[in-house]
Amino acid sequence: MKICIIGATGHYGYVLEGLEMERQRQEELNISKKDEYTSNCQYAGIADIVGIAPGSQGEDITPLVKRLMQSNPSICVYDDYCKMLDEIKPDIAVVCCYFADQAKAAIEAIKRGIHVFMDKPVATTFEDLELLKKFYYNSNVHLAAMFGIRYTPWFLNAKEYVDNGAIGKIRLMNAQKSYKLGRRGEHYKNRNIYGGTIPWVGTHAIDWLHWFSNEKFISVYAAHSNLYNSDHGDLEVSAICSFVMTGEIFATVSIDYLRPATAQRHDDDRIRIVGTEGVIEVRDRKIYLTNKFTSGTEEIEVAEDYKENIFCDFLAQIRGEKKCMVSAEDSFYVTEAALLARTSADEKREVRFL
Minimum distance of a second copy from residue 269's CB (angstroms) = 13
* Among 123, 251, 287, 338, contact with a second copy (rule: CB under 8 A): 251
Q: Is 191 helix (H, G, I), strand (E, B) or coil?
A: helix
Q: Find the part of the chain contacting a second copy (CB under 8 A) among 44-52, 205-213, 286-294, 312-320.
A: 286-294
Q: Which of 66, 296, 304, 354 binds a second copy (CB under 8 A)?
A: 296
Q: Tell me, residue by residue from 87 to 106, as one string, x for binding to a second copy by CB under 8 A and - for no binding.
A: --------------------
- Helix 126-137 and helix 328-347, axial crossing angle in degrees, nearest 10: 170
CB neighbour list of residue 309: distance below 8 Å, 6 or more residues apart = 14, 17, 18, 21, 148, 151
Tell me, by CB under 8 A, how many residues bind a second copy. Answer: 52
What whole-number distance in Å separates Cα of residue 62 and Cα of residue 76? 13
**Closer residue to a second copy, CB minimum distance, 33 or 283:** 283
Provide φ and ψ at 177, rounded to 5°.
-125, 125
| Beta bridge partner(s), residue 204 | none
**Given 160, 277, 329, 347, the residue binding a second copy (CB under 8 A):** 277
By CB under 8 A, residue 183 contacts a second copy: no
Interface stretch with a second copy, choices 135-143, 190-198, 253-261, 333-341 (CB under 8 A): 253-261
Q: How far is the CB of 258 from a second copy (least distance, A)?
A: 5
| DSSP type of residue 303 | P
Near a second copy in 185-204, by CB under 8 A: none
Out of 26, 252, 327, 343, point to the residue binding a second copy (CB under 8 A). 252
CB of 31 to a second copy, least distance (A): 42
53 binds a second copy (CB under 8 A): no
Near a second copy in 297-326, by CB under 8 A? 297
Cα 142 from chain centroid? Answer: 15
214 near a second copy, judged by CB under 8 A: no
Site for a second copy in 141-170 (CB under 8 A): 169
Report in angstroms the alpha-carbon separations of 122 from 206, 215, 288, 348: 14, 21, 32, 24
Alpha-carbon torsion (281, 287, 293, 295), positive or negative:
negative
Among 26, 71, 72, 174, binds a second copy (CB under 8 A): 174
Q: What is the DSSP string of 45-106?
A: SS-EEEEEE-SSTT---HHHHHHHHHH-TT-EE-S-HHHHHHHH--SEEEE-SSGGGHHHHH
Query: Exactly one of 56, 124, 139, 290 binds a second copy (CB under 8 A); which one?
Result: 290
How many CA atoms does the CB half-sphere of 154 hold within 13 Å?
A: 17
Q: How many CA atoms lie within 13 A of 253 on its CB side?
A: 30
CB of 244 to a second copy, least distance (A): 5
- If one asks whether residue 213 binds a second copy (CB under 8 A), the answer comes out as no
Nearer to a second copy, 83 or 349 (CB): 349
Please name which of 123, 173, 174, 130 lies closest in space to residue 339, comparing C-alpha atoms.
123
Taking CB under 8 A as the criterion, the residue among 228, 319, 321, 329 binding a second copy is 228
Which of 306, 96, 315, 339 shows the shortest CA–CA distance to 199? 339
Q: Which residues here bind a second copy, judged by CB under 8 A?
A: 169, 171-172, 174, 176, 178, 219, 221, 223-225, 227-228, 237-242, 244, 247-248, 250-252, 254, 256, 258-264, 272, 274-279, 290-297, 348-350
